[in-house]
Structure 1
Amino acid sequence: LQSLAVEYKKLEDEFRDALKIEERRYQELFKTNEIIQKENELLQSSSTNIKQREESDRKMVNDLMVLVREQKQRLQERTKTNDNLTHQNKHLTMKLERAIDELKKIREQILILQKERREIDARAHRSRKNYL
């Protein structure tokens, strides 16, 4: 009976040791679980932040694309307006050059007529002198 009591005591001690081992193992697993949960929370928070930044970046890129399109359209309009003004200026310049050429011809004709008139006046003056 005593040997059974000793065996029972050994089994009881072995069982207590096993319980202590399991308790340590459980505590390690519990701590590991807490660490992993905290890391998971951090990763989820980081993931959420990254998703928000990506969405913000996507919106910014879209806004910039719209802005670029608007600027491109304005630039095209200004280029077209500038081309039209350049064409009008060339046309007006040619028109003014033709008008200047015509005025030069008229001036030459006036100068010739003035010269002829002086000659006629001079002849008429001489003729009057001779007549008198």
Structure 2
Amino acid sequence: MREERLGGAAEDVDSVLGALADPTRRQLLDLLAEQGTATATTLAERLPVSRQAVVKHLAVLDAAGLVSGNRVGREVRYALRSAPLDAAARWMAALAADWDRRLADIKRAAETAEQASHPPGTD
């Protein structure tokens, strides 16, 4: 069922969710969303971690498709890529819709059982 909802992109969503599990990586995404593009050095200045740690986190985000790096001279400028986030959001929305449907089914079954146990005029 999960594969059907994802259209075969389960691994992509898995890597996005794995990358988003780390608070530092989420901060990096927030900074890139705010700044547009930035170097690892610039990003490290805004975080309580070393530049080397930022580079490692950016590599995880890049592997998940959440950022892209573009070499400009001696620097690599990173930018946010929204498509993988959109795919993960679609998966979560489909999951939420499944649960909403299931809960509505449970509610209907409970209401039907309640009505069957208390026919009109028996109170």
Query: So what's the TM-score if we normalise by structure 2?
Result: 0.36
* Larger-Rg structure: 1
Q: Which structure has greater strand proportion?
A: 2
Question: Which one scores higher on RCO, CA 8 angstroms, separation ≥ 6?
Answer: 2
Query: So what's the TM-score if we normalise by structure 1?
Result: 0.34
Q: Which structure has greater helix proportion?
A: 1
